[in-house]
């Protein structure tokens, strides 16, 4: 049982090490491309069209202006990735008023003013002033309330309109769908990065499991190092994967492109099933394998403790006062009780 569990721990450790690299590369790619902000901009543009913006181009311009506002953007001319419902409503009023730090271009401002007027806010500048004034009063009277709560109460009180009702009705659903689309996009990127990593290092998880099963020294090394580095949860703890990579390279389980035999080994068709399985397993992500490894280590610790206790009990020999009591003599059956006489006297 412990051998099978050690095999699972070793294989999980290897998958965790490479999935950490996959996760880092995926995050770097999405951050450099600004995909989170792009997905949010697309979602806000769809919401604006739902609110009444007839032109997709104008909706895109308004959403872009909202996410590039100095209070929302991340860095210079970089789309923001987080926006609250109340911030979105106030920024639309500010952009429609045309006096803020960021202004709309072309027909976008006219389109925004039109949907605000149709929605019951003919003067967005005055409505925004009233919202800010009431939010200040609420802060003075109820300082324990959060800023988001104060803005929400002020908007509901000073800008009660069909436009605000539609924003409040659709905003949360839109953000949920944006998050879902971004998660799906990230999964595809993770799968692609996993494929690249597996091909580059030629990771065959089936070969790794075979080696863990037959090589006791290799299995013990992986399990002992994993127990030391991953048994205790510590966010500040940095795991150095280099010793593991060196160990896998020395045993021939991974091959880097710097190796002159890399091309010959990649042509081995027997590695294809294991490499394909490695791609699918790595795409699950580092958090999945980290939690799985912690659970396996806890299980192994429990089983090892029980196994040691049972071994000690089997090896214990009774001596002196600790001798085991003699076996109990069974009592005669009830039908033999009573007078039986002397059978030897017969005859």
**Count of CB atoms situated within 10 Å of the CB of 130:** 16
Task: Indicate whether 260 belongs to any domain.
Answer: yes
Q: Which of 267, 282, 304 is the last residue of a domain?
A: 304
Domain endpoint, select from 146, 180, 214: 180
Does some domain include residue 298? yes
Below-50 pLDDT ranges, the chain: 233, 235-236, 335-336, 343, 345-347
Q: How many domains does the chain have?
A: 2
Q: What's the pLDDT score for residue 347? A: 46
Sign of CA dihedral 111, 114, 116, 118: negative
Are 300 and 259 found together in one domain? yes
pLDDT for the residue numbered 306: 73
Claim to verify: residue 211 and residue 167 sit in the same structural domain = no
Supply φ then ψ for residue 279, to 5 degrees.
Answer: -60, -45
Query: Which helix (H) or strand (E) segment is 74 a member of?
Result: none
- Same domain? For 112 and 204 the reply is no
234 secondary structure, DSSP code: -
Q: Do 158 and 197 have their domain in common?
A: no
* Three-state secondary structure call for residue 222: helix
pTM, rounded to two decimals: 0.74
Confirm if 187 and 35 have CB atoms less than 8 A apart: no
- Domain of 64, in residue numbers: 34-180
pLDDT confidence of residue 235 = 47
Q: Is residue 211, in this structure, part of any structural domain at all?
A: yes
Looking at 151, 180, 209, which one is the last position of a domain? 180
Residue 250 lies in a domain: yes
Q: Quick one: 218 and 123 in the same domain?
A: no
pLDDT tens for residues 291-329? 898 888 888 878 767 766 666 666 665 555 555 555 555
Same domain, 106 and 193: no
Could you tell me if 46 and 163 lie in one domain?
yes
Please indicate, yes or no, whether residues 45 and 170 belong to a single structural domain of this protein: yes
Residues 146 and 203 in one domain: no
Q: Residue 312's Cα: distance from chain center in Å?
A: 42
How does pLDDT run across 93-107, given as a tens digit for each residue? 998 887 766 778 778
Cβ atoms of residues 53 and 111 within 8 Å: yes
Is 292 inside any structural domain? Answer: yes
The answer as to whether 332 is a domain residue is no
Does 346 fall in a domain? no
195 shares its domain with 160: no
**Which pLDDT does position 192 carry in this prediction?**
95
Cβ contact 209:273 at 8 Å: no
Supply the pLDDT for residue 45: 93
**Quick check: is 238 in a domain?**
yes
Q: Answer yes or no: do 78 and 139 share one domain.
A: yes
Q: Residue 236's pLDDT is what?
A: 44
Q: Are residues 38 and 170 in the same domain?
A: yes
Joined tokens for residue 297: 């280590």
Q: Which of 83, 251, 248, 81 is nearest to 172 (CA)?
A: 83
Q: Which of 305, 243, 259, 236 is CA-nearest to residue 13?
A: 243
């Amino acid at each position: 049982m412990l051998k099978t569990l050690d095999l699972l721990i070793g294989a999980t450790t290897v998958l965790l090490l490479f999935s950490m690299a996959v996760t880092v590369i995926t995050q770097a790619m999405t951050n450099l491309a600004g995909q989170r902000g792009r997905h949010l901009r697309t979602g806000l543009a769809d919401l604006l069209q739902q609110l009444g913006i007839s032109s997709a181009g104008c909706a895109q311009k308004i959403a872009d202006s909202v996410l590039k506002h100095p209070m929302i953007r991340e860095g210079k001319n970089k789309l923001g990735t987080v926006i609250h419902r109340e911030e979105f409503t106030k920024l639309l009023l500010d952009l429609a008023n045309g006096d803020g730090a960021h202004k709309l271009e072309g027909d976008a401002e006219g389109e925004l003013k039109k949907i605000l007027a149709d929605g019951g806010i003919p003067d967005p500048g005055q409505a925004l002033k009233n919202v800010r004034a009431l939010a200040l009063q609420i802060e003075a009277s109820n300082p324990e309330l959060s800023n988001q709560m104060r803005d929400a109460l002020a908007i509901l009180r000073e800008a009660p309109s069909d436009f605000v009702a539609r924003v409040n009705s659709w905003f949360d659903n839109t953000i949920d769908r944006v998050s879902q689309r971004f998660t799906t996009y990230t999964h595809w990127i993770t799968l692609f990065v996993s494929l690249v990593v597996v091909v580059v290092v030629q990771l065959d998880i089936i070969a790794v499991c075979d080696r863990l099963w037959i090589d006791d020294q290799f299995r013990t090394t992986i399990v002992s190092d994993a127990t030391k580095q991953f048994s205790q949860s510590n966010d500040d703890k940095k795991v150095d994967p280099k010793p593991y990579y060196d160990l896998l390279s020395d045993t021939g389980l991974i091959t880097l492109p710097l190796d002159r035999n890399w091309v010959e080994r990649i042509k081995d068709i027997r590695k294809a099933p294991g490499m394909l399985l490695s791609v699918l397993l790595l795409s699950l992500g580092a958090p999945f394998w980290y939690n799985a490894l912690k659970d396996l280590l806890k299980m192994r610790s429990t089983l090892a403790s029980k196994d040691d206790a049972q071994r000690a009990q089997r090896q214990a020999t009774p001596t002196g006062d600790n001798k085991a009591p003699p076996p109990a003599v069974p009592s005669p059956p009830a039908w033999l009780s009573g007078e039986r006489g002397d059978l030897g006297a017969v005859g």
